[in-house]
């Protein structure tokens, strides 16, 4: 079953209403994008590590980061309270959450 377009088109609207995203530099190699609820309680995070040339055979741009860890279960749970989506749509919604995290990393 394909994800419903109405859910995917409105999910960013709910993300901007329900969450604050901030960048937390842990060290020279590691950056975490923290997902806070509107009361500034951490409800999730995506950890990025600086990519290394040994990870694949292609050259890597100096500022490339890869996702090394992600904890978005509470974020999905909170979103599910406001948006009625089913288990088949979780993978698409996770991609949207990762995309939002990557956008914060670029700033």
Residue 39 sits in which domain range? Answer: 5-106
Q: Model-level pTM?
A: 0.80
- The total domain count for the chain is 1
Q: Hey, how many other C-beta atoms are within 10 angstroms of the C-beta on 105?
A: 17
* 43-61 per-position pLDDT tens digit: 999 999 988 766 565 554 5
> What is the band of 30 on the pLDDT scale with cuts at 50, 70, 90?
very high
Strand ordering across the sheet containing 30-37:
19-25, 30-37, 42-50, 65-71
Residue 56: per-residue pLDDT: 60
| pLDDT for 3 beyond 80 | no
Give residue 54's pLDDT: 63
Residue 35 near residue 44, CB atoms below 8 Å:
yes
């Amino acid at each position: 079953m394909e994800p419903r377009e109405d859910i995917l088109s409105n999910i960013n609207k709910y993300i901007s209403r329900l969450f604050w995203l901030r960048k937390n530099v842990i060290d020279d190699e590691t950056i975490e994008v923290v997902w806070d609820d509107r009361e500034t309680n951490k409800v999730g995070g995506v950890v990025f590590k600086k990519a290394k040339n040994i990870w694949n055979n292609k050259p890597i741009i100096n500022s490339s980061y890869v996702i090394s860890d992600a904890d978005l279960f509470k974020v999905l749970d909170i979103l599910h309270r406001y948006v009625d989506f089913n288990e088949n749509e979780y993978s698409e919604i996770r991609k949207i959450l990762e995309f939002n995290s990557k956008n914060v990393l670029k700033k």
